[in-house]
Chains A and B, each alone.
Chain A
Amino acid sequence: MRPLRFALAQGVLLRDAAAALRAIGLDVSGIDGDGRQLAVRSGDLEYVLARPSDIATYVERGAADLGIVGKDVLMESGARLLELVDLRFGACRFVVAAPKDALERSLDEYRHLGSLEVATKYPRVAEEHFRRRGIAVEIVKVAGSAEVAPQVGLADWIVDLVATGATLAANGLAIVEEIASSTARLVANPAAYHQRRDEIAPLVERLARWAECR
């Protein structure tokens, strides 16, 4: 049987994820350097580094058994996997934001035109939120920054992920409402969690205790 495979998101979460794993006594020397290797064997584990949005796919399909990834990514992917531990780092929020001075104008527009345009990188989260709220919107999917969309007339509002809100403020946007908050999660492929419980359970327990004490 292959070693237990642990998928970690590259980018902002990687440093914290490595620190958490180091804190529970795992050897993560192979992953926190500047190495270009994307699959690293270390002791009984194999680490795989991937883009955050790919972690959910890897774990859902069983290409990796465990993963550390933000709740935001899980919400947008819709992947079916087991969320086992809230690791409490990488905090951010999904918010609806609108130009500071234009909230009234856009609500007036909604009364007259019956629909708002919302630019976002997260169409699934945005759509579900507005459906739940009963607001008719047209989602405009963008691949890069959505913050500029209201300024250039691409959309009335945006749905975006914010940590501090500084970028919103810098672009003249204010938060209309918060959709959900997010932190990093330890996730598992359900089939792997059942079949390899003896190997996975101690890691879950140690990470849960570590997160509890933060």
Chain B
Amino acid sequence: MRSPARAPALAPPRGFRDILPTEARELRAIERALTDTFMSYGYAPLEPPMVERTNGESVLAGDRLIQFLDRDGDLVALRPDITTAVARLVAQRYRDASGALRLAYFAPVFREQPAMLGAEREYDQAGVELVGPSGSLADAEVLALLAQSLDSCGLRGATIEVGHVGVVRRLFDALTPDARELVLADLRRGDRVGAFRRARDAGMGEDALARARAALAARGRDVESVDVEGVTDLREVIQLARELHAGEPQWGVPNLALVPELPYYTGVVFEALHPESGFPIAAGGRYDLLLGAFGAPRPATGFAINVPRLHLALFASGWRPSRERALVSLIPGADPRAAARLAARLRSKGVAVAIGAVAEPAGMTVLSAEAVDGERLRLEGGRIVTCDALARELA
């Protein structure tokens, strides 16, 4: 039913929203911490376009994409992630590059029906991609960078669960390649019951099934007893990552139960978890096959942080952005020139000044002061201070 006043629809389209100043300030603080940390590992910023051609290489099913036809008749989609864009761009622009390519981003991505906060269709992802090197040190670098990035935002109590898709695949070596891939698809969906039923029906023996079942429940120390090629690599990666970033004790936990949903992972995979979040805050790993899909096979690894989930976990554990200096709300007196001079003087001393009353303090402390003359201000409560004294007090 329409309201009698026929009010125009003011809310943005479903799944999109305005991020108001209080929240935006907190997100900026997170963005600064993350991009600084990425830079400290040598990752250079990258800004791929908002839309990509839809050509079957997407990591998500078509119904999870927000897509449309452009005027050239091309089917295009708002990017659902940055990793696919990086894979395309590496194949196009860095095809012959040797050495390691280190790229970082902080950018919105767009998805239909995501299972997350209020079913948002747009949210920020922050992450890195390391293209070129393979091996334990490269895996460890990306893993350590994720741990350090979360630390730099002030997140405490997170664990990073580290698995290995190659090890999981090898547990089902007794099966034909086709059957094995179907079993892995079940595991990626989280359907262990179905996976083991399918493996048994495809002729896998009881001993092998029992071994796989035990391996897929192994976390922490239990992983050491799993005798499959790749397990030592997994432990070595975590040890190396702890050398790169000491962090909280035990932040990296070997966990063979971790089988991510996305099919392109090939080796070490990981997810950052926090007790305040029912979903992973970040996910990543080695995806050596994705670039091949764009015609330029290269080893690659990386991670993406879901920024709203990180923000939620930070907020729930009591984090607030570090204190900034108060904002002075300067109420002009009878002489506007005096007020203008005061504002310029205060700002030159590093004090933030807004002239007039402040409608949106954005979570900042606002100090109201009235201009007395070109030199002095009257604070709430009546105390009169000079411009310089106020700047010193706020420093």
Chain A positions within 8 Å of B, measured between CB atoms, are: 1, 60-63, 71, 79-86, 185, 189-195, 197, 201, 204
Q: A85–B193 contact, CB under 8 A?
A: yes
* Also in contact, A84 and B193, with CB within 8 A (given A194-B258, A197-B219): yes
| Besides A189-B278, A190-B280, A194-B255, 12 new A-B residue pairs in contact (Cβ under 8 A), listed by A number | A60-B115, A60-B278, A61-B279, A62-B278, A80-B115, A81-B190, A190-B190, A194-B219, A195-B159, A195-B275, A197-B217, A197-B257
Q: How far is the CB of A72 from chain B (nearest CB, A)?
A: 14
Q: Would A194 and B161 count as touching, CB distance under 8 A?
A: yes
B366 CB to nearest A CB, Å: 37
B223-271 residues with Cβ-Cβ distance < 8 A to A are: 253, 255, 257-258, 261, 271
Q: Which residues in A have their C-beta under 8 angstroms from that of B220? A: 197
The 10 closest A-B pairs by CB, nearest first: A62-B278, A82-B190, A86-B193, A83-B193, A197-B219, A194-B161, A83-B191, A191-B273, A61-B278, A195-B273
Question: Would you give the shortest CB distance from A78 to chain B, in whole angstroms?
Answer: 9
Residue from the list A81, A83, A201 in contact with B194, Cβ < 8 A: A83
Determine if B277 is an interface residue (Cβ-Cβ < 8 Å): yes
Q: How far is the CA of A195 from the CA of B280 in the complex (A)?
A: 11
List 12 contacting pairs A-B, 8 Å CB cutoff, sorted by A. A62-B278, A80-B261, A85-B193, A86-B197, A190-B190, A191-B273, A191-B278, A191-B280, A194-B253, A194-B258, A197-B220, A204-B217
Question: Interface residue tally of chain B, by bracket?
Answer: 20 to 34
- Which residue, B191, B194, B277, B278, has most C-beta atoms of chain A within 10 A? B278
> Hey, what's the 0/1 contact readout for B271-291 against A, CB within 8 Å counting as 1?
101010111100000000000
Least Cβ–Cβ distance between B213 and chain A, in angstroms:
9
Q: Return chain A residues, CB-CB under 8 Å to B255.
A: 194, 197
B223 to chain A, nearest CB (A): 11
Contact residue among B190, B197, B275, B277 (Cβ-Cβ distance under 8 Å from A80): B190
A83 CA to B220 CA in the complex, in Å?
21
Q: Determine if B192 is an interface residue (Cβ-Cβ < 8 Å).
A: yes
State in angstroms the CA–CA spacing of A192 and B219 once bound together.
13
Chain A residue with minimal CB distance to B187?
A: A82
Find chain A residues with CB under 8 A from B217 CB. Answer: 197, 201, 204
Min CB distance A82 to B, Å, is: 5
Contact between B219 and A185 (Cβ–Cβ < 8 Å)? Answer: no
Closest to B158 in A: A195
- For A193, list chain B residues within 8 Å (CB): 257
Distance, CA A71 to CA B197, complexed state (A): 14
